[in-house]
Structure 1
Amino acid sequence: MPGPLFTLDDLRRILRSGAGADEGVDLDGDILDVDFADLGYESLALLETGVLVEKDFDVTLADETLTTARTPRALIDAVNAQLGKAA
């Protein structure tokens, strides 16, 4: 039986709790394919996001995952791939 999936709602929660949200960006909108830079999240914020994802979901993300996953969809897919390996 597969474990829980990492969802867009999980990512939104982690982004808000870790790095906050730029007041000009609506994280509740259709952001799956929007570049993190366009959402106001640079490399340091994404590293913090990665730490929180690892802690909350008990996965290990390679540093390059956080630098190559340029959109929420890409990061969600990468996290779920790790969750699938742990199952």
Structure 2
Amino acid sequence: MSVMTIEDLRTILISCAGEDESTDTGTDISDVLFEELGYDSLALMETAARIERDFGVRLPEEMMAELKTPRALLDLVNDNLAVTK
């Protein structure tokens, strides 16, 4: 894949940690803190593993700990995808 979209990420997040019933899936989650979305470090580690499997981008645990929003994660993944083209 050449780019990861917010919908790709939303699908991965839901499959890795389930969906918080208070999260409106129709809203733009790009700049909402993972903490506010209900995703803890364990869910984000599972997300990183899925991204590596599905997109071929390895995200070290230290990097994942620094990412606060889906937009930051998407930017990192897509920057890595652009380099590997």
Bin of the TM-score, shorter chain as denominator length:
over 0.9
Cross-structure match for 1:42: 40
Gaps of 5+ in 1: none
Q: Is the 8 A contact 1:31 1:72 kept in 2?
A: yes
Matches within 5 A, 1:61-72: 61-72=59-70
2:73 corresponds to which letter in structure 1? L
Correspondence 1:1-87 to 2 at 5 A: 4-87=2-85
Return the letter of the residue paired with 2:35: A
Under a length normalisation based on structure 1, what TM-score does the superposition of the two structures give?
A: 0.91
What is the CA distance between 1:28 and its match in structure 2? 2.8
Percent of matched pairs sharing the same residue: 48
Residue 81 of structure 1 deviates from its aligned partner by 1.1
Alpha-carbon distance between aligned partners in 2 of 1:74 and 1:37, rounded to the nearest angstrom: 14
Structure 1's consecutive aligned runs of 4 or more residues displaced over 6 angstroms after TM superposition are none
CA distance in 2, matches of 1:79, 1:46: 14
Asked if the contact 1:25/1:39 (under 8 Å) is kept, the reply is yes
* Higher mean C-alpha displacement, 35-44 vs 16-25: 16-25
Q: Number of aligned pairs?
A: 85
Aligned-CA RMSD value:
1.1
TM-score (norm 2): 0.93
Task: Please report how far the alpha carbon of residue 64 of structure 1 lies from its aligned counterpart in structure 2 after TM superposition.
Answer: 1.9
- The answer to whether the 8 Å contact 1:65/1:78 transfers is no
